[in-house]
Amino acid sequence: MSHHFDTPTSMEDPRLNLCDFYLFSGRPGFTTMAMAVNPEADLGKDGLFRDEGVYTFRFDTDGDGVEDVSFKVRFSAATHADNGDHEQAFTVVRAEASASRSGVDGDEVVSGHTSHLAGNGEVRAFTGQARDAFAGNAGGNEAFLAAIAQGRYLPEAFDSREDFFGPRQVAVIVLEVPHSMIGSGQVHAWATISLHGHAPEQQVSRWGLPLLTHLYLTTEEQREAYNRTSSEADDSPITTQIGAAIQNITTLAGTTGDPAAYGEQVLTRFGALNLPYEIGTPAAFTLAAFNGRALRDNVMDVMLSLTTNSPLANGFHPDPDRISNDFPYFDVVTHAGRGIE
């Protein structure tokens, strides 16, 4: 959950599973973007990232639904470090215009190795293993949606108290760049993972707004279609399904006199299913407004409350012990006896 293991592709290779996406202001004058992938991350088992994968942060800067600037991260095959962990080299490139939409071309902005801090005075990057910053009542959500499928509204499903993500670790990519490398004013952002090798490039994971696939897309086919669809493509089958799900849930909940109109209202709020953010402002993903997403934002409660038109809470908040005030902001996991370099 958020998007943990939501498609057949991600179940076959968790390194291609895009779990979460965050966007917020870092140090003064800089924007931080982060994605969590691979809910089975383990430094000692294998490479954390797929060497044929392209892990991309995408930014639409003019509101037309098409990316204008992208930051693409690629990894080498894994090798054994001296301490026994697997290590991978990585490179980040920045691309504009048509080059930002596909392929691996761009201008290199930083490079380094997993589990090590990388930077060049302006751009900072970290790729490696961390405790999952997301918290949520996955069991309660499954019971809630199972009841909805049976035609019952069951908010008490969240009375159970088990944070599925507490013991989990993920692989993270954290990139901090000057605001000027993205743009100014409001942008709309999303993250993707694509495969790029001998075959034509194929997008396999997509993340714009949290919990879309788990709350609204009820079949593997729907989830796979969403993950493989680019932002500029026709999302109408996906938004139709989302609107129908919200209409059904609010009808069962009895929380609005016009469920169809409420569903349309929420779809308007969701827009192109990407994350809006005013560059340089404090990030906050709240019931009142979406403006980026900070690690401490309780996005599950926000999405449940919007979906049901009621103050529905899942029972958990992100654990501050998993979050740092300093770059790379996640609670990083390293080999015993070795810190981040």
Kindly state whether residue 301 falls inside one of the protein's structural domains: yes
Q: What is the pLDDT of residue 2?
A: 47
Q: Which residues of 247-260 are buried (b: 16+ CB within 10 A; e: fewer)?
A: bbbbbbbebbeebe
Kindly state whether residue 161 falls inside one of the protein's structural domains: yes
The secondary element (H helix, E strand) that includes residue 296 is: none
Q: Could you list the residue range(s) of the whole structural domain that residue 181 is in?
A: 8-333
Pairing of strands 118-119, 284-285: unpaired
Dig out the tokens for 243 from the structure.
Answer: 């609107």
The answer to whether 301 touches 210, Cβ cutoff 8 Å, is no
| pLDDT for residue 5 is more than 50 | no
Per-residue pLDDT, averaged over 309-325, amounts to 94
HEC states along the chain? CCCCCCCHHHHHCHHHCEEEEEEEECCCCEEEEEEEECCCCCCCCCCCCCCCEEEEEEEECCCCCCCCEEEEEEECCCEECCCCCEECEEEEEEEEHHHHCCCCCCEEEEEEECCCCEECCCCEEEEEEEECCCCCCHHHHHHHHHHHHCCCCCHHHHHCCCCCCCCCEEEEEEEEEEHHHCCCCEEEEEEEEEECCCCCCEEEEEECCCCHHHHHCCCHHHHHHHHHCCCCCCCHHHHHHHHHHHHHHHHHHCCCCCHHHHHHHHHHHHCCCCEEEECCCCCEECCCCEECECCCCCHHHHHHHHHHCCCCCCCCCCCHHHECCCCCCECEECCCCCCCC
pLDDT-derived band at 295 (thresholds 50, 70, 90) equals very high
**Mean pLDDT of all residues belonging to the chain:** 91
| pLDDT for residue 161 is more than 80 | no
Q: What percent of the chain has pLDDT over 90?
A: 78
Per-residue pLDDT, averaged over 116-141, amounts to 93
The answer to whether 39 touches 136, Cβ cutoff 8 Å, is no
Q: What is the pLDDT of residue 303?
A: 98
Kindly state whether residue 49 falls inside one of the protein's structural domains: yes
Task: Give the total number of structural domains in the chain.
Answer: 1
Dig out the tokens for 75 from the structure.
Answer: 């990894």
The answer to whether 20 touches 290, Cβ cutoff 8 Å, is no
The secondary element (H helix, E strand) that includes residue 146 is: helix 138-149
Kindly state whether residue 164 falls inside one of the protein's structural domains: yes
Kindly state whether residue 96 falls inside one of the protein's structural domains: yes
Q: What is the pLDDT of residue 312?
A: 96
Kindly state whether residue 178 falls inside one of the protein's structural domains: yes
pLDDT-derived band at 60 (thresholds 50, 70, 90) equals very high
| pLDDT for residue 318 is more than 60 | yes
| DSSP string over 14-37 | GGG-EEEEEEEE-STTEEEEEEEE
The answer to whether 323 touches 134, Cβ cutoff 8 Å, is no
Kindly state whether residue 341 falls inside one of the protein's structural domains: no
Dig out the tokens for 198 from the structure.
Answer: 């001998």
Tell me how far apart the alpha carbons of residues 254 and 222 are, in angstroms, rounded to a whole number.
27
Say if residue 81 is exposed, middle or buried (CB neighbours under 10 Å; 0-12, 13-18, 19+). middle
| Higher local confidence (pLDDT), 4 or 315 | 315
Kindly state whether residue 177 falls inside one of the protein's structural domains: yes
